Amino acid sequence: MVNRVVVGAHYGLRDWLIQRVSAVLMAVYLVTLAGYWCWQPSHNYDTWTALFSSQWMRSFSLLFLLSLFYHAWVGVRDIVMDYVKPAAVRLVIHVGVILLLLLYSIWSVQILWGM
Amino acid sequence: MQKNRPKYLNLFRIKLPLPGFVSILHRASGLLLFLALPVLLWMLQASLMSIETFTGLQGYLDHPLLKLLLIGLLWALLHHFFAGLRYLLIDMHKLPGLAGARHSAVWVLLLSLSLTLLLGVKLW
């Protein structure tokens, strides 16, 4: 049993909510993309890049990827908190994961708008 | 307070119930997808950048070992997807009681495995 007096800034409710909101957003994106894939008669480079040529699709894709990265942060953080006990190791992994996900975010913009 | 409950930390002696099995696979598949992120982003980049990188990627993915890896990731995605949907439904009190938890756990396993098989055969 957790006996804790709630007095501080935040106790995970925000992350709990973001985890679910990002999950719904990713699910909508993936189902939309899968539907488009089934409906599209031919699959080649031209149809693939045409799909990603509109600003709308690029924005939706970036939103999907940013949701994915935040979702991954909450998930990996929870796993690390469960299995990695030494504070120093935990801190190093946390910082590494944050930096990695920030780099992925920059990379995602480059992929979607640099094509 | 001293408790004399037995502690089984030997993973091979722990018999997980089905929802627990789905739960640990949700965690494992999530970690797997996180670790695969750089490869997946690189694939997205190669597929969009130019016709040369696109066909190059197709060439890579013709390799049976990479295909198998991709199918493994597909399973991870599908399991994480359906197990995640199950958690959302549980949050909304749509799967009440032990029966709801057990039946939905079976559904998650059935859906993710059958869809992996179906799409895997198509990919191969």
ipTM of predicted assembly, 2 dp: 0.89
Please state, in angstroms and rounded to a whole number, the distance separating the CA atoms of residues A15 and A26.
16
Report DSSP state, residue B13.
G
Average pLDDT over residues A41-60: 94
Contact B14, B8 (CB under 8 A): yes
Cβ contact, residue pair B48, A107, below 8 Å: no
Would you say residue A1 lies in a domain?
no
How many folded domains does chain A comprise?
1
In the predicted model, is pLDDT for residue A95 greater than 70? yes
pLDDT per residue as tens digits for the range B5-48: 766 667 777 788 899 999 999 999 999 999 999 999 999 999 99
The CATH number linked to A86 is 1.20.1300.10
Would you say residue A25 lies in a domain?
yes
The residue with tokens 């119930």 is: B17
Out of A11-20, A103-112, B67-76, B106-115, pick the least confident. A11-20
> pTM of the entire structure?
0.89
Of B79, B77, B69, the C-alpha closest to B111 is B79
Q: Which of B31, B37, B48 sits opposite A111 (nearest CB)?
A: B48
Cβ contact, residue pair A24, B88, below 8 Å: yes
Name the percent of chain B lying above pLDDT 70.
95
SS (H, E, C) chain A: CCCCCCCCCCCCHHHHHHHHHHHHHHHHHHHHHHHHHHHCCCCCHHHHHHHCCCHHHHHHHHHHHHHHHHHHHHHHHHHHHHHCCCHHHHHHHHHHHHHHHHHHHHHHHHHHHCC
Mean pLDDT of chain B: 92
Average pLDDT over residues A77-92: 93
Would you say residue A3 lies in a domain?
no
In the predicted model, is pLDDT for residue B66 greater than 80? yes
Cβ contact, residue pair B44, A111, below 8 Å: yes
The whole-number pLDDT of residue A1 equals 60
In the predicted model, is pLDDT for residue B104 greater than 80? yes
Q: Which of B48, B81, B84 sits opposite A52 (nearest CB)?
A: B48
Q: Which of A45, A54, A69 to mutate to test the interface with B (most CBs of B within 10 A)?
A: A45
Q: Which of A49, A79, A104 sits opposite B41 (nearest CB)?
A: A104
In the predicted model, is pLDDT for residue A112 greater than 70? yes
Would you say residue A2 lies in a domain?
no
Would you say residue A39 lies in a domain?
yes
Domains of chain B are: 17-31+63-123 (1.20.1300.10)
Report DSSP state, residue B11.
G
For chain A, how are helix, strand and coil distributed in percent, rounded to 5? 80, 0, 20
The whole-number pLDDT of residue A13 equals 86
Name the percent of chain B lying above pLDDT 90.
79
The whole-number pLDDT of residue B14 equals 75
Q: Which residues of B touch A108 (CB under 8 A)?
A: 41
Q: Could you tell me the residue range of the domain that residue A51 belongs to?
A: 13-113
Q: Which of B34, B38, B81 sits opposite A76 (nearest CB)?
A: B34
Q: What residues in chain A have their Cβ under 8 A from chain B's Cβ atoms?
A: 20, 23-24, 27, 30, 45, 48-49, 52, 72, 75-76, 79, 104, 107-108, 111-112, 114-115
